[in-house]
Structures are given as structure tokens and as C-alpha cells.
């Protein structure tokens, strides 16, 4: 019981870490794209 609970906990923690990493990457990439779009708009004007 305790071992399975520990395994479940570590599995959930791994899932959360993976989701957090994906969110962080998307946010970073999204911010990078927004900055590039702003720069392109400034150049176009």
C-alpha cells in the first residue's frame, strides 16, 4: 500500500514536472514570437 502510494506520488510529480516544463517552453516561445512580431511591426512602419 505504502509503496504503491509512493509510486503514484512520484508518477504524479513527474507528470506535473513535465506539464510545467511544456508550459514554460510554450510561454517562452510565445513571448519570443511576440517580441519578434513587435520588432517586425516596428520595422514595417
Q: Per the domain annotation, does 16 fall within a domain? A: no
* Residues of the domain holding 39: 21-45
Q: Per the domain annotation, does 42 fall within a domain? A: yes
Q: Per the domain annotation, does 7 fall within a domain? A: no
The dihedral built from the CA positions of residue 10, 12, 16 and 21, taken in this order, carries a sign that is: positive
| Cell numbers that stand for 30 in this block | 510565445
The count of domains in the chain is 1
Cα separation, 44 vs 38, whole angstroms: 10
Cα separation, 19 vs 28, whole angstroms: 14
pTM of structure: 0.49
Q: Per the domain annotation, does 1 fall within a domain? A: no
Q: Per the domain annotation, does 38 fall within a domain? A: yes
User: What's the pLDDT score for residue 1?
Assistant: 61
Tens-digit pLDDT string for the chain (45 aa): 677 888 999 999 999 999 988 888 888 887 777 777 788 888 877
Cα separation, 5 vs 8, whole angstroms: 5
User: What's the pLDDT score for residue 31?
Assistant: 78
| Cell numbers that stand for 37 in this block | 512580431
Amino acid at each position: 500500500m505504502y509503496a504503491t502510494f509512493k509510486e503514484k506520488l512520484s508518477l504524479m510529480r513527474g507528470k506535473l514536472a513535465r506539464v510545467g516544463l511544456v508550459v514554460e517552453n510554450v510561454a517562452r516561445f510565445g513571448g519570443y514570437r511576440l517580441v519578434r512580431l513587435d520588432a517586425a511591426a516596428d520595422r514595417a512602419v
